[in-house]
Chain A
Amino acid sequence: MGKLLELQGISKSFPGVKALDNISLTLEEGEIHALLGENGAGKSTLMKIMCGIYSNDEGKILIRGKEVKFGNYMDAIHHGIGIIFQEFSLIPYLNAVENIFLNREPRNKLGFIDFATMRKEASALLDKLDIKIPLDVPVNELSVAEQQFIEIVKALSLNAKILVLDEPTATLTPREAERLFRIMRDLKAHGVGMFFISHHLEEIFQICDTISVLRDGQYIGSMPVKDSNVDQLVEMMVGRKVENTYPPKPANLLRDTPILEVKELKRFKDSASNSFKLYKGEILGFAGLVGSGRTELARALIGADPVYSKDVVLDGKSEKLSSPDVSLAKGIGLLPEDRKAEGLILSFSVQTNISMNNYNKWLKAKYFIDDRKEQEDVKTIVKQVRVKTPSEKTIVSNLSGGNQQKVVIGRWLNNDCKVLIFDEPTRGIDVGAKAEIYELMRKLAAEHGLAIIMISSELPEIIGVCDRVEVFREGNIVADLTGDDINSNTIMLYETGNK
């Protein structure tokens, strides 16, 4: 076995964050190498550097002992690296053959696409890997797994010797995952080296040769799979963090009657049925891996997406919550995870973004907005949530991520809400602003008497902020944790299905 790929001392910084700090890894021929780490540990950044999507600030990349520099994604492909993203890059209305040969279709003498040759070459590739998929239907009619296989074949047809698989099993059924593993073993036999990212430890034990763990952009260690065990890996991933950026939790929360009770919420006829309670003044965490159904549940709750069934009791009264505007009227608000696309109107001012859903508050002569009152209230809110902005008229796209998030919080503070759902409130926000957001959330709960749900994929903040935690796995709430049970190991074990 020879060394296929070596990463030496790779570092990468983004404004305000060191995403990767001096990472060194080696991938051998025919090796399946697992990359393990929490969300935000730096796995994706590292993968993107390997594929030329990001450039590294420091360090070297060697392929078969020779240093290479990638200016872009195409460079990496030319050096035999293929990446299978979580979101596919297939053209939905083209079939498998057309997708595999996209932009390098074989031509006949007249310069037209030579479909016969193209099809022959494609089926040869598929046969080699013993993959059976229909070739004549648009890929959007195929299953997720089949689309993934096409991505893999596409990469191999470009002579990829190194494959990066970024959570390939996240959207697969166990049987489909099994098929994927068979193909991976086949590739391994052909000498292809693979990086495999997954949160499911059992898969890693099943398919991988080596495990490397990253945490907070640092390289923690590597070991052969056969020498490792679950507890040890969780320990390595979570580590012990001494961060004291969290506001103190209230000593004894009174939980007598819930402000919100959700019973038997089902998104589809056959999907899991979830129930939970929320009490005034508490911050309830929704922990789980990416894709475990937390956001979906929140959106279904406020009526942003259709649901099959739900039974919601808010403040003692049964409510329908059929759409976000009904939820707003009843006092439930969602602060979406994708701040830029779903939370803010980026090209509008701070003021408009705060006041947009409650103009009725400032009506004069019944129909008209009292601009002066609006401005006064917005000024007060901007101060309250401490948005750092030159003025209320500043366009929000000019603010930092943290200040943008505070603007969204300000919008809900401008409404009389009982329940607020924060979906990944600190994603993409620097450490200082994170602490401010936590403080604001705690203040809303303690002083304004709100009940808060915080969805987060970052365990430290779930542990640091929440009074109670619901753990999600594959669309189900699998645990309700309080007190000392809110710790990394317990949550991680539930999240990954090892408990």
Chain B
Amino acid sequence: MTNSSVSNGSFKDTFKKLSTLPFFLPLVGFVLVFIIMVAVTDNFLTYSNLSNIGRQVSINAIIAVGMTFAILTGGIDLAVGSVMALSGTIMAGLMAGGIPMSAAILVGLALGLVLGGINGALIAYAKMPPFIVTLAMMTIARGLALIYTGGYPIAGLDQAFAFFGRGDVFGIETPIIITIIIYVIAYIVLNHTPFGRHVYATGGNYEASRLSGIKVNRILFLIYAISGLTSALAGVIITSRLMSGQPNAGVAFEMDAIAAVVLGGAAMSGGKGTIIGTLVGALLLGVLNNGLNLIGINPYVQNVIKGIIILIAVYVSTEKKKARS
């Protein structure tokens, strides 16, 4: 009796603590969906399926890191999917043309960084709105990918390249390992470095941050460059998984990334959000996708369900303004 009430109390305490986390609701959603899927399907909780989810989630999760930075400053990056495709096809093209794998990957990553940097420069220094700049970059990068490939996939890649999308280390899929490393780095940068704190400050109040002497324009420039880099990294994984450079890869990926960030508790107005929340958001979307597939729900219906879940999650977590007396 005494024992159970004590454990009960500590459970309550833990729950209370958990409930103050900014990503508490998506976490609950993730756990719920997870439990439901385990209950209604036979093959959800298998090693191969969980690995599969991990692989699927990793690409969106990595893109969502850059998106988190952008949204934390009150901006957005719509170019992520196209930049991913362009970096991926260039990497593939270089490899197919005989350039060593490591050099091809470096060029691909550098390209992502440069494209993101162009976005950043236009937003920070030319004072153009992030939505417009990245929308334009979205179509430009996609166009370049199609021009470069002539619209056809590029195959014939170095077999060693398969490691990034299909390989594993001690039985853990490489994309999952890369994702974990990226999230650890992003977590440390956002929470334990001046740069990370300045990202939050810039999004929390741009003008106050600027007047207090924070280099807000440099922050904006850098976060879009980072987003370009994470997009290119996702490009490495997807190109490796498909073992070909696909100019049409990643269409509408920006939407999944935005959904993950917003589900993770971030505010589109900036200043509020966490990197762990984004990971939870990406996982929630991942298990939902996978589970609905396993149950055999029509993909068209899946879209509707995902949209509704995003609306509900954001509605519940929106701070309602208290009515004034």
Binding site for B on A (CB under 8 A): 302, 304, 324-325, 327-329, 333-334, 336, 341-348, 352, 355-357, 359-360, 363, 367-369, 371, 411, 415
Contacts and interface: CB of A to CB of B under 8 A. Distances in A.
A348 B213 contact: no
A277 B318 CA distance: 51
List the 6 closest pairs (A to B, CB-CB), nearest first: A328-B213, A359-B194, A345-B204, A345-B205, A357-B212, A325-B213
12 contacts: A304-B210, A324-B211, A325-B213, A345-B204, A345-B271, A348-B271, A356-B197, A356-B198, A357-B212, A359-B194, A369-B193, A369-B197
Contacts of A369: 192-194, 197
A328 B212 contact: yes
A408 to B, nearest CB: 9
Contacts of B207: 341-342
Nearest to B215: A325
A324 to B, nearest CB: 5
Given A345-B209, A347-B204, A352-B197, 4 more contacts: A333-B212, A345-B271, A369-B192, A369-B193
A334 B211 contact: yes
A356 B211 contact: no
Contact of A368 (B188, B200, B205, B211): B188
B118 interface: no
Interface in B75-121: none
B211 A342 contact: yes
B201 interface: yes
B272 interface: yes
B208 interface: yes
Contacts of B309: none
B211 A345 contact: no
A348 B188 CA distance: 20
Nearest to B207: A342
A411 B192 CA distance: 19
A368 B192 contact: yes
Given A344-B205, A347-B272, A369-B192, A324 B212 contact: yes
Nearest to A329: B213
Nearest to A411: B212
Nearest to A364: B192
A367 B214 CA distance: 17
Given A347-B204, A348-B201, A356 B212 contact: yes
Interface residues of B, number: 21
Contacts of A341: 205, 207-208
Contacts of A359: 193-194, 197-198
Contact of B213 (A342, A344, A357, A371): A357
- Which of B205, B213, B214 gathers the greatest number of chain A CB atoms within 10 Å? B213
A336 B208 CA distance: 9
Given A352-B201, A368-B193, A369-B193, A342 B214 contact: no
- Which of A327, A343, A345, A411 gathers the greatest number of chain B CB atoms within 10 Å? A345
A350 to B, nearest CB: 14
B193 A346 contact: no
Contacts of B198: 356, 359
Given A341-B208, A344-B205, A347-B271, A324 B193 contact: no
- Which of B198, B214, B271, B272 gathers the greatest number of chain A CB atoms within 10 Å? B214
A345 B213 contact: no
Contacts of B204: 345, 347-348
B213 to A, nearest CB: 3
B193 A356 contact: no
A344 B208 contact: yes
Nearest to B271: A347
Interface in B183-222: 188, 192-194, 197-198, 200-201, 204-205, 207-215
Nearest to A328: B213
Nearest to A370: B192
- Which of B192, B194, B200, B210 gathers the greatest number of chain A CB atoms within 10 Å? B194
Nearest to A332: B213
B201 A356 contact: yes
B102 to A, nearest CB: 26
Contacts of A336: 208, 211
A348 B209 CA distance: 12
Contacts of B209: 345, 356-357
Contacts of A363: 194
A411 B212 CA distance: 9
Given A324-B212, A325-B215, A356-B214, A345 B201 contact: yes
- Which of A302, A347, A363 gathers the greatest number of chain B CB atoms within 10 Å? A347
B213 A327 contact: yes
A411 to B, nearest CB: 6
A352 B208 CA distance: 12
B259 to A, nearest CB: 23
B273 to A, nearest CB: 12
A367 B197 CA distance: 12
A341 B211 CA distance: 11
Nearest to B212: A357
Contacts of B188: 368
Contacts of B205: 341-342, 344-346
B201 A333 contact: no
- Which of B192, B198, B272 gathers the greatest number of chain A CB atoms within 10 Å? B192
Nearest to A343: B208
- Which of B198, B201, B212 gathers the greatest number of chain A CB atoms within 10 Å? B212
